[in-house]
Structure 1
Amino acid sequence: MDEDLRAAVEREAEKHALLNAIKHESDANVGAVMGPLMGDNPAFREHADAVPGIVGGVVARVNDLDQEARRDRLETLAPDELAEIEAEDEEDDQLLPDLPGAEDADEVRMRCAPNPNGPWHIGHARMPAVIGTYRELYDGWFCVRFDDTDPETKRPDLEAYDAILEDLEYLGFEADETFVASDRLEIYYDHARDLIDAGGAYTCSCSGEDFSELKNAGEPCPHRDKSPATVHEEFKAMIDGEYESGEMVLRVKTDIEHKNPALRDFVAFRMVDTPHPREEASEYRCWPMLDFQSGIDDQLIGITHIIRGIDLQDSAKRQRFVYDYFDWEYPEVIHWGHVQVDAYDVKMSTSTLKELIDAGELDGWDDPRAPTLKSLRRRGIRGEAITEAMAGLGTSTSDVDLAMSAIYANNRDLIDDESDRRFFVRDGVEVGLAGSPPEQAAPELHPDHEDRGTRAIPVGDAVALEEDDLPGREERIWLKGLGCFQYTRDVLQYTGESIDVVRDGDVDVVHWVPADESVPLTLRTMEGDVEGRAEPGVLDYDAGTVCQFERIGFVRLDQVEEDGSVAYYAHP
């Protein structure tokens, strides 16, 4: 092979080796390089015996470079190919589909509109996870708007406003702006007056039953043709609180013969006798329905994209009637299906959870059995793990299932490296030691990070084992970090054998704690509390620390005290 051909082989081999290494974020592989190299360069094929040797040398040089140096070199040799890889990487990393119409908007503006009737359960996390991810994707904007204009049926909880903002922060987001609908009633009243002037609304004193019969028959309400002056007068009386609940409503004129009865002359305002729990709103009695309030706010706040459940498709259709009266352009709407979460026996419903808490069946919103964000946070599960799992569900109109194992896997990736290992024995069986074992055990703090060293565990005269780990008569076990023992005459006799007995598969490795110096600890789990004892080193941690109880799972230390500690179980 002449020098020019050899140089050409090296040049092309380097390009393909760099492509292979960068694409797979690993060292290049000679076999993986040979296929595209020979395919792109037919002239090399007659020298097939010599090419692999040249490629091997080139691959070795490429593998000596770090990933940044590889990218720099490929940008010099083949910038177009590098750009293609980076574009593919960006596309692969995007969890969500492109937003329709996003490129035409000056700024993508979205809203998270919770009803503040309690802290968020896991299902609620989907909305902030998705709109927060879209904000980052499009360098956009999103707000939190508390839709709290139902003081009776979905009565707001005064503590929920701050609790929801804390949950949002836990998920990794902060709203660009926050609104409270019950602060904006005068705005809704003004737009109702404008709607009356436009001939788009009328006051109605029909009973719910009477109006339902007319609506279903496609017949107009007898109040539909009132003069605007009369409607204004009666609407003012509503605002002034002169009517009782159910006595008068303000309806939006739509199409009384619309094929969907739910869209026929829907209610915009009604009277509510129950005072709002917020002092600032407690005097109001005339309250907007969500479809009216939300539609007005979306326009005034400048929302460009709305994401809502598929069960709310009629809401968009109702709101479009109002938008048509005001000659407004309706935002882009994405409807998605419901998300179902496994692993819980408790219904994922704010009202149901509140009832269980009030009845004492749950200890609070952060009870490990509760499917709430407060519970997951207390268990040591990071909000980022939830956000990634929820965003990964996409925005399909079909109902989707979320396995908690997906959240656990994400969380494991986030916490594994930094979580020290410790021993915890559930309902332990105490066994004496014999044969002069070491006075102190030294298991690793982390099996993948030798540089962190070991932890010192005093041994004493006896250890506690989990009952299932107690060996049979004359059988051997390896107490992790301590050594090999044989169960003889109701004691564990130290044998002094090397770790080879474990490597040969003859001896099981078990965790343990010293009987005398271990720490009583309650492990709170989704199935209930588990009592046990932990190695004394847990007292070195602050409350809130996450560690792994070996052979049990990851936990968050909630209370660290010598006479009784508490940990919350996260996941395996």
Structure 2
Amino acid sequence: MDQELRERIEREAEKHALMNAVKHGGEADVGAIMGPLMGENPEFRPHGDEIPGVAGGVIARVNDLTPEERRDRLAELAPELLAELEADDEEDDRVLPDLPNAEEYEEIRMRCAPNPNGPWHLGHGRMPAVIGTYKELYDGWFLVRFDDTDPETKRPDLEAYDDILEDIEYLGFEPDETMKASDRLETYYEHARELIEKGGAYTCSCPGEEFSELKNDGRPCPHRDKDAGTTLEEFEAMIDGEYESGEMVLRVRTDIEHKNPALRDWVAFRLIDTPHPREEAAEYRCWPMLDFQSGVDDHLKGITHIIRGIDLQDSAKRQRFVYEYFGWEYPEVVHWGHIQTDEYDVALSTSTIGELIRKGELDGWDDPRAPTLQSVRRRGIEGEAVTEAMVELGTSTSNVDLAMSSVYAKNRERVDDGATRRFLVRDGVEYPLTGDHPETAEPPVHPDHEDRGTRHIPAGEAALIEPVDVPDHGERVWLKGLGCFRHERDTLEYTGDDIEAVREGGVDVIHWVPADESVPVRLRTMDGDVEGRAEPGFVESEVDEVVQFERIGFARVDRVAGRAAAGTSGSDPRDEGEKSESVAYFAHP
């Protein structure tokens, strides 16, 4: 790395370090600035292995400043960033728009209606995050209704019911009521009978392709004028299982010449031979379509506001025909765009993730490579951080991207203050330590909390450091908490220099572990597993504790020498292997 490039990296690192320290009111951290530093300066990426060492010295100087000095220095280097921070401080916390016509309702009642065909991916979390937040804003009512009336195409997963409720709790909410649509078949049958008597539905035995052709031409099928008595008899025969799957359906009578063919005489009930996986619902064969079932339930539960994808605009239009027959008032509807997220190679799709698990390409729903709520939870990301990031996306009809960096930033604010600092060396290179160096390193448990004391790390006779941190021969390096060493003849020789070597001499600050007394740790990441060695005190960590591996990032402790986390899925096939190995899940920088 030439001197000009090094100086540019130092300038940019200082700007981001100051931004990080001022924003969070604490000390800057290498892991926290690496993402924005590399993102804004793609030309730095070929030198990614060297940059943490360069940035470490800069951050040490920034952390030596008082809060006032940091703010003044940021105003000097990047006044626009300071202005942005100040604007953020003044911004109203309420980022969701007002619900339409909310003042007209005594109580705001909303529902989240998941299909329990598998655990939730990240995109699913948006609905309960927003609805739960609206409930708090309006002191409203929140229903979770499992729309599980398709036992064939979107076959329910019996474990998913509880998994989804756990995800909602993880996001920070508790529904006022929970129900399963598959428990309510008789309710839907009663409303179908009433609709038939009102002239709003008829039974149809047209083959699918034949009806499609008639519908697209705006021509009625020959069964459309069937009298209510005959329709009722045939509908009862559907309920009693006297027809084969596909032989008969019940259609809602709409406008056969409607300009939108999708709204013409749509199917309300069909026959499915595949038994429902829930024992309580396994006897039923006549199942409502989602638009009928959901429409009836929304009315009966007094739902005032519905949030749904913009691709489901036709659902509201279909349901309005049913509401008009019954004389019901349709709820307010908010449509929003699709959500995608970055950083993952796997699509936000329950079926896609499930297939990768079946193929063995993912270890389970909580594999760190899976874009699921179970995964981010096991990585140590708090649900409230996910919720805050989701809420900030708003309810725009445009498609939106959830930047995981936003989730990470919000989680960092939550976990940083309590996270014990630890050293973890990946792919360590061993160097003997020579000279009259201290016998024990005393880095702080937390740099912002002197009252929490220091960690005691025996120096031993040799240290492990990461390959990217090995200094050139004759160059010095600062082993954090231990002191300054010079690389001489494949050893690290203690020089006795004080901290001014870092502040003024450009000496890089690096993490390290004693070669003899360090402990093995497998770090599970989105890019695969990494084997490393941690400082001896890591074995004192509690399972589920979030620690910060200095210069690497935050991680949740999953297992310490045989102490596995209670309630984890056990989906990692290696969990049944060597129990003496410690395991941590990487959360974020």
The answer to whether the superposition gives a TM-score over 0.5 is: yes
Alignment of 1:72-87 (within 5 A): none
Secondary structure of the residue that 1:186 maps to in structure 2?
A: helix
Distance 1:116 1:475 in 2: 60
What is the DSSP-based 3-state SS (H/G/I as helix, E as strand, rest coil) of the residue aligned with 1:119? coil
Deviation at 1:340, TM superposition (A): 1.3
Correspondence for 2:360 = 360
Question: Where does residue 556 of structure 1 map in the other structure?
Answer: 556
Aligned to 2:429: 429
Indicate how the Cα distance of structure 1 residues 566 and 110 shifts in structure 2: closer, same or farther if over 3 A, else same.
same
CA-CA distance at 1:89 after TM superposition: 9.7
Structure 1 position 569 matched with structure 2 position 566: no
Instruction: Within 5 Å, give how 1:14-163 maps onto structure 2.
Output: 92-163=92-163
In 1: Cα distance, 2:374 partner to 2:433 partner: 44
The answer to whether the aligner puts 1:393 opposite 2:393 as a matched pair is yes
After TM superposition, give the deviation of residue 468 of structure 1 in Å.
1.0
- Describe the SS at the equivalent of 1:531: strand
Q: Deviations over 1:356-391 (max 9, x none)?
A: 001100000000000000000000000001100101
Q: Aligned residue for 1:262?
A: 262
SS in structure 1 of the partner of residue 463 of structure 2: strand
Structure 1 residue aligned with 2:499: 499
> 1:172 is paired with a residue of what secondary structure?
coil
Match of 1:526 in 2: 526
Q: After superposition, where does 1:171-570 map in structure 2 within 5 Å?
A: 171-561=171-561, 563-570=580-587
| Matched residue SS, 2:425 | strand
Higher relative contact order (CA 8 A, sep 6+): 2
1:108 and 1:400 map into 2 onto residues whose CA distance is 26
Q: Which amino acid aligns with 2:471?
A: P
CA distance in structure 1 between the aligned counterparts of 2:413 and 2:314, rounded to whole angstroms = 41
Match in the other structure for 2:37: none
Counterpart CA distance in 2 for 1:90 and 1:166 is: 34
Q: How far is 1:506 from its partner?
A: 2.9
What is the CA distance between 1:244 and its match in structure 2?
1.1
Instruction: Give the number of the structure whose alpha-carbon radius of gyration is greater.
Output: 1
TM-score of the aligned structures, taking structure 1 as reference length: 0.84
Provide the rounded CA distance (Å) in 2 between the counterparts of 1:194 and 1:355. 42
Separation (CA, whole Å) in 1 of partners of 2:254 and 2:98: 33
SS in 2 for 1:417: helix
Aligned counterparts of 2:316 and 2:472: Cα–Cα separation in 1: 69
Which one-letter code corresponds to 1:343 in the other structure? E
Task: After superposition, give the CA deviation of every residue in 1:286-332 in whole Å (9 maximum; x if it has no partner).
Answer: 00000000000000000000000000000000000000000000000
| SS at structure 2 position matched to 1:567 | strand
Q: Secondary structure at the match of 1:92?
A: coil
2: distance between equivalents of 1:276 and 1:505? Answer: 71
Q: Which runs of 5+ in 2 are unaligned?
A: 1-24, 26-87, 563-579
Query: How far did residue 541 of structure 1 move?
Result: 1.1
Deviation at 1:91, TM superposition (A): 8.0
Offset of residue 337 of structure 1: 0.5
For structure 1, which segment, 125-134 or 560-569, has the greater mean C-alpha deviation from structure 2 after superposition?
560-569
Measured after TM superposition, the shift of residue 458 of structure 1 is: 1.0
Instruction: Say if 1:207 and 1:390 are closer, same or farther in 2 by CA, change over 3 A.
Output: same
Structure-1 separation of matches of 2:334 and 2:505: 56
Supply the AA of the counterpart residue of 1:566.
V
Deviates more, 1:318-327 or 1:91-100: 91-100
How far apart are the structure 2 equivalents of 1:471 and 1:213?
Answer: 75
Letter aligned with residue 389 of structure 2: A
How far off its partner does 1:505 sit?
3.3
The aligned amino acid for 2:134 is: Y
Partner-residue secondary structure (3-state), 1:329: coil
Structure-2 change in CA distance of 1:292 and 1:91 (3 Å): farther
Deviates further, 218-227 or 554-563:
554-563
Question: Which consecutive segments of 4 or more residues in structure 1 shift more than 6 A?
Answer: 88-91
- 1:436 CA drift (Å): 2.6
Q: Distance in 1 between matches of 2:506 and 2:311?
A: 60
RMSD: 1.5
Q: Which amino acid aligns with 1:435?
A: G
Q: Deviations over 1:194-239 (max 9, x none)?
A: 0000000000000000000110010111001111111111000100
Letter in 2 for 1:360: G
Give 3-state SS (helix, strand or coil) of 1:474's partner: coil
Per-residue CA deviation, residues 419-466 of structure 1 (Å, 9 max, x unaligned), is 111000000001111113111110011111112111001111111000
* TM-score normalised per structure 2: 0.81
- CA distances 1:514-542 after superposition (whole Å, capped 9, x unpaired): 10110101111001001110001111111
Deviates more, 1:534-543 or 1:265-274: 534-543
Q: Which amino acid aligns with 2:456?
A: A
1:16 aligns to what?
A: none
Counterparts of 1:396 and 1:285, CA distance in 2: 39
What is the one-letter code of the residue matched to 1:244? E
Query: Mean alpha-carbon deviation: is it higher for 223-232 or for 261-270?
Result: 223-232
1: CA distance between counterparts of 2:399 and 2:198?
40
**Equivalents in 1 of 2:96, 2:506: separation in Å?**
50
**Percent identity among equivalent residues?**
74
CA distance in 1, matches of 2:262, 2:336: 20
Matched residue of 2:137: which SS? helix
Q: Separation in 1 of the partners of 2:367 and 2:246?
A: 39
The equivalent residue for 2:571 is: none
1: CA distance, partners of 2:548 / 2:319: 51
Corresponding residue SS for 2:517:
coil
Per-residue CA deviation, residues 156-201 of structure 1 (Å, 9 max, x unaligned), is 0000000000000000000000010000000000000000000000
The change in CA–CA distance for 1:306 and 1:456 in structure 2 (over 3 A counts) is same
SS at match of 1:164: helix
Instruction: Provide, for residues 266-300 of structure 1, a one-character-per-residue CA deviation record: whole Å limited to 9, x for no partner.
Output: 00000001000000000100000000000000000
Distance (Å, rounded) in 1 between the aligned partners of 2:165 and 2:389: 20
Distance 1:223 1:505 in 2: 90
Secondary structure, aligned partner of 2:478? strand
Q: 2:251 is aligned with what amino acid?
A: R
Instruction: Name stretches of at least 5 consecutive residues in structure 1 with no aligned partner.
Output: 1-25, 27-87
CA distance in 1, matches of 2:97, 2:426: 46
Matches of 1:505 and 1:226 in 2, distance apart?
92
Cα 1:291–1:567 shift into 2, 3 Å: same
Distance 1:222 1:93 in 2: 58
Deviates more, 1:254-263 or 1:534-543: 534-543
Residue 416 of structure 1 and its aligned partner are, at CA, apart by 0.7
Letter matched to residue 495 of structure 1: T
